[in-house]
């Protein structure tokens, strides 16, 4: 996080002077030709500046030294200064009578920020939250050796949570992590909420949650997500009841209540977000051949480079773009062995010069990483397809689209049919194997839907000030129990805990509705591409490898980038403008039928009894914040805020240049 602080500091220094120059500009310019000339200049000048900045970031993240961090700060200051000046110029236009396109391009250069002190405070809070999350270690004395052992979230705690079986280990890890991280983050997070809301209101949003929702260019997001979820909830409840039985079998009657919510610490990761690691106990027909090709990959001496070549071949087989030659020389596909410290989290990078695209990953030869390779290549494909667009349009139609592309390809790639043709599986056509496959898919997707949903609906309520301050944590768990059917394994303290913060995306300021939306997009796109490829039969058997018709349909949509509202991009590909749940439901219909029969056979209770709730006198966050969030307060130097805004926005965006 050192790089980010340096960036902000330099940017602050550089731009106080700039603000003075621009202040005297006078009346707004309504001449569109001037605006177009300005945008042309911006596009040709800012690309190379951004390129230098991304190169510096890459050098740092693949070689974590102080020297490299300082270089990020310098490049960031240059980019920040340019962006600030461009934003100030953009604000000098009256766009009322401009074409939609000019308006849209200018709209990406239009944001206002907090004053210097509060900008810096918010920045420092974000850095500190990120660093607490990354550096926290849970320690305990090894029961056998008595030696003190400390574990980071990656890889040790994650590996521990992935193992099914040891209840006490999971309980220890869950509690150590949530108490250790959540309690440190709570006061920082509450201040982050205040400052983010204040900034959002300066920009005309009702609150920060409203700002997040409006990224989807609709005022209906709250209705849209609830409507989508109500359609998949019956399937989720069947999966929930089925998994509860499997946990009961694994952990026993004293640990699992067959009418209760699931304990949060037994679901295969620290958060209960993805349930794939429960596959060993959940697989419907364990005696049937496995659909996991990892052992075969190892037997065939697969290498990481071969995994990427195979992935790239999947895209090119459809007539999509190959990664550039430089991708192979410049990417970091494996963890370096030369002693360098690097960030490992798999990411895809756009260098904004139209030709340099890279992946940073510490890939291992296992199937899970093979799927991630296809996911990251999806981001790269999107980057390449929209590379010809003006700078401000080089982005996904929305964040959910960007996440959906690689998942979509990975779905086809992972079918038993495709893995058979690659020689990685030799599995017969068998309905029981199909059910193993579908359940595995469901553990990776259906389980995440209510999880991702409430992560953001709860935060939307919180940003709105609807949740009593003293009840933030209790209400989070109440919502979790109500919608997800999951409960904390131990009592929580409402005054000091804030468990939602102990997740990467929350303390690093990412919304999560993108992952909820991408799941629907992915199945919706899949149905269209399968049809284009001439597929007949169940959708879970569709493999559109080699189909240029499917490739063309996808490319047409990707090329739009962010130049149009996502509804237009959706229409270009699927012929209609709405996000739909039916493609996902169609895909999983055979599994739903199977789960219903299985659960009926075992006499499962579908759903869960809610824990009793306590009555408390409400103290609303919005009351507590009243006054503090008054945007007309003379404390805020609006003039300064206007010029600092883009710098701060740019600095925040620097964390998002990459795609996770």
Ligand X SMILES: *[C@@H]1O[C@H](CO)[C@@H](O)[C@H](O)[C@H]1NC(C)=O
Q: Interacting stretch for ligand X, rule CB under 6 A, among 263-271, 322-330, 361-369, 609-617?
A: 322-330
* Residue 97 within binding range of ligand X, rule CB under 6 A: yes
Alpha helices in 300-366 (DSSP H): 304-317, 325-330
The one catalytic residue among 505, 571, 589, 598: 505
Least distance to Zn ion from the beta carbon of 497, Å?
A: 30
**Alpha helices for 274-303 (secondary structure H):** 279-282, 294-299
141 is a contact residue toward ligand X (CB under 6 A): no
Residue 418 a catalytic site member: no
Name the one range near ligand X by CB under 6 A: 90-98, 112-120, 247-255, 442-450: 90-98
Q: Which does 41 bind (CB under 5 to 8 A by kind): ligand X, Zn ion, none?
A: none
Query: Please, which residues bridge with residue 486 across strands?
Result: 262
With respect to Zn ion, which residue has the nearer C-beta, 181 or 411? Answer: 411
The reply, when asked if residue 379 is annotated as ligand binding, is: yes
* Nearest to ligand X of 357, 643 (CB atom): 357
Residues facing 348 on adjacent strands: 359, 659
Name the segment binding ligand X (CB under 6 A); options: 251-259, 323-331, 449-457, 529-537. Answer: 323-331
- Judged by beta carbon, residue 149 or residue 305, the one nearer ligand X is 149
Single out the residue of 29, 43, 63, 303 in contact with ligand X (rule: CB under 6 A). 63
Tell me: is residue 403 an annotated ligand-binding position: yes
CA 172 to chain centre: 27
Check if the beta carbon of residue 131 is closer than 8 Å to that of residue 166: no
CB of 327 to ligand X, least distance (A): 9
Phi, psi dihedral angles at 597 (to 5 degrees): -65, -45
Tokens of 313: 């071949």
Q: Which does 142 bind (CB under 5 to 8 A by kind): ligand X, Zn ion, none?
A: ligand X
Q: 640-659 mask for Zn ion (x: CB under 5 A)?
A: -------------------x
Paired with 148 in beta bridges are: 141
Q: How are beta strands 486-487 and 262-263 bridged, if at all?
A: parallel
Q: Is 287 annotated as a binding residue?
A: no
Phi-psi region of 436 (alpha: psi -120 to 50; beta: other; left: phi over 0): alpha
Give whole-number Cα distances, 631 to 196, 402, 634, 642, in Å: 12, 34, 8, 13
Q: Is the dihedral of CA 184, 185, 189, 191 positive or negative?
A: positive
* Catalytic site includes residue 376: yes
Q: Which residues contact 411 (CB under 8 A, 6 or more apart)?
A: 441, 522, 526
Q: Is there binding between residue 30 and ligand X (CB under 6 A)? A: yes
Exposed e or buried b for every residue in 647-660, given b needs 16+ CB within 10 A? bbbbbbebbebbbe
Q: Which stretch binds ligand X (CB under 6 A): 107-115, 325-333, 362-370, 388-396?
A: 325-333
Which segment (233-241, 321-329, 350-358, 642-650) binds ligand X by CB under 6 A?
Answer: 321-329
Minimum Å gap between C-beta 435 and Zn ion is 28
| Contact with ligand X (CB under 6 A) among 100, 287, 338, 615 | 338
Q: Which is nearer to ligand X, 24 or 329 (CB)?
A: 329
Let me know: does 541 contact 414? Beta carbons within 8 Å: no
Q: Which of 131, 135, 326, 633 binds ligand X (CB under 6 A)?
A: 326
Please indicate if the annotation marks 514 as binding a ligand.
Answer: yes
In the set 24, 26, 144, 603, which binds ligand X (CB under 6 A)? 144
CA distance 426 to 540: 17
375 annotated as a binding-site residue:
yes
> Minimum distance between the CB of residue 403 and Zn ion, rounded to whole angstroms?
5
Q: Which residues contact 357 (CB under 8 A, 6 or more apart)?
A: 323, 324, 327, 348, 349, 350, 351, 380, 383, 384
For Zn ion, the closer of residues 186 and 659 by Cβ is: 659
**SS3 assignment for 140-182:** EECCCCCCEEEECHHHHHHHHHHCCCCHHHHHHHHHHHHHHHH
Q: Token pair 């944590």 is at which residue?
A: 473
* Site residues (CB under 5 A) for Zn ion, limited to 390-409: 403
**Among residues 287 and 325, whose Cβ is nearest to ligand X?**
325
Interhelix angle 66-90/32-61, nearest 10 degrees: 170
Pick the closer one to ligand X by CB: 149 or 220.
149
Q: Restricting to residues 500-559, which ones interact with ligand X according to CB under 6 A? A: 545-546
- The pair phi, psi for residue 269, each rounded to 5°, is -145, 180
- In the region spanning residues 499 to 538, those forming contacts with Zn ion, defined by CB under 5 A, are none
Catalytic residue among 376, 407, 527, 650: 376
Between strands 357-360 and 486-487, the pairing is unpaired
**If contact means CB under 5 to 8 A according to the sort of partner, which of ligand X, Zn ion, none does residue 653 touch?**
none
The correct pick among 51, 52, 57, 68 for binding ligand X (CB under 6 A) is 68
Residues that bind ligand X in the complex, under the rule CB under 6 A: 30, 63, 65, 67-68, 94, 96-97, 142-145, 149, 300-301, 325-326, 329, 338, 340, 421, 545-546
List residues forming the annotated binding site for chloride.
Answer: 216, 514
Residues that bind Zn ion in the complex, under the rule CB under 5 A: 403, 659
Residues taking part in catalysis:
376, 505
List residues forming the annotated binding site for Zn(2+).
Answer: 375, 379, 403
């Amino acid at each position: 996080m050192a790089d980010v602080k340096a960036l902000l500091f330099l940017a602050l220094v550089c731009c106080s002077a700039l603000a003075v120059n621009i202040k005297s500009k006078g009346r707004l310019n309504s001449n569109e030709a001037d605006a177009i000339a300005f945008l042309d200049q911006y596009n040709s000048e800012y690309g190379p500046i951004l390129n230098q900045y991304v190169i510096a970031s890459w050098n740092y993240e693949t070689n974590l030294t102080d020297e490299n961090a300082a270089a990020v700060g310098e490049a960031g200051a240059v980019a920040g200064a340019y962006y600030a000046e461009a934003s100030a110029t953009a604000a000098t236009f009256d766009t009322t009578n401009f074409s939609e396109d000019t308006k849209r391009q200018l709209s990406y250069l239009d944001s206002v920020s907090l004053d210097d002190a509060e900008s810096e405070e918010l920045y420092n809070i974000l850095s500190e939250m990120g660093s607490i999350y990354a550096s926290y270690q849970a320690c305990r004395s090894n029961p056998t050796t008595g030696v003190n052992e400390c574990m980071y979230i990656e890889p040790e705690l994650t590996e521990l949570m992935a193992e099914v079986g040891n209840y006490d280990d999971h309980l220890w890890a869950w509690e150590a992590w949530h108490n250790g991280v959540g309690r440190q983050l709570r006061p920082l997070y509450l201040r982050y909420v205040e400052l983010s809301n204040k900034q959002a209101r300066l920009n005309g949003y009702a609150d920060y949650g409203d700002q997040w929702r409006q990224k989807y260019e609709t005022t209906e997001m709250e209705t849209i997500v609830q409507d989508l979820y109500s359609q998949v909830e019956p399937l989720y409840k069947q999966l929930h009841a089925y998994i509860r039985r499997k946990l009961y079998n694994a952990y026993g009657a004293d640990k699992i209540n067959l009418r209760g919510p699931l304990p949060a610490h037994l679901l295969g990761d620290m958060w209960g977000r993805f349930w794939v690691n429960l596959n060993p106990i959940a697989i419907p027909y364990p005696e049937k051949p496995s659909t996991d090709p990892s052992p075969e990959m190892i037997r065939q001496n697969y290498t990481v480079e071969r995994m990427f070549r195979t992935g790239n071949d999947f895209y090119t087989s459809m007539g999509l773009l190959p990664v550039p030659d430089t991708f192979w020389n410049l990417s970091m596909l494996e963890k370096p062995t030369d002693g360098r410290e690097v960030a490992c989290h798999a990411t895809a990078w756009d260098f904004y010069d139209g030709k340099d695209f890279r992946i940073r990953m510490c890939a291992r030869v296992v199937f899970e990483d093979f799927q991630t390779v296809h996911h990251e290549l999806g981001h790269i494909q999107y980057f390449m397809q929209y590379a010809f667009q003006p700078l401000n349009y080089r982005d996904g139609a929305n964040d959910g689209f960007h996440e959906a592309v690689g998942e979509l390809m990975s779905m086809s790639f992972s079918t038993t049919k495709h893995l058979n043709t690659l020689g990685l599986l030799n599995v017969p056509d068998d309905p029981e194997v199909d059910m193993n496959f579908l359940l595995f898919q469901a553990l990776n997707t259906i389980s995440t839907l209510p999880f991702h949903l409430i992560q953001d609906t709860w935060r939307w309520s919180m940003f709105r000030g609807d949740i009593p301050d003293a009840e933030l944590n209790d209400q989070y768990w109440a919502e979790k129990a109500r919608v997800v059917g999951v409960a904390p394994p131990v009592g929580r303290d409402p005054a000091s805990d804030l468990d939602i913060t102990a997740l990467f995306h929350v303390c690093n300021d990412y919304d999560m509705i993108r992952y909820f939306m991408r799941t629907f997009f992915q199945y919706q796109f899949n149905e269209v591409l399968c049809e284009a490829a001439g597929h007949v039969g169940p959708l879970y058997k569709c493999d559109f490898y080699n189909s240029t018709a499917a490739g063309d349909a996808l490319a047409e949509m990707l090329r739009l980038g962010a130049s149009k509202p996502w509804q237009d991009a959706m229409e270009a590909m699927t012929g209609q403008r709405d996000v739909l749940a039916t493609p996902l439901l169609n895909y999983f219909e055979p599994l739903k039928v199977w789960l219903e029969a299985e659960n009926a056979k075992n006499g499962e209770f579908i759903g869960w009894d809610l824990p009793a709730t306590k009555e408390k006198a409400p103290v609303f966050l919005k009351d507590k914040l009243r006054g503090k969030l008054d945007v007309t307060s003379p404390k805020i130097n609006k003039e300064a805020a206007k010029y600092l805004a883009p710098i701060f926005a740019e600095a925040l965006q620097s964390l998002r240049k990459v795609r996770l």
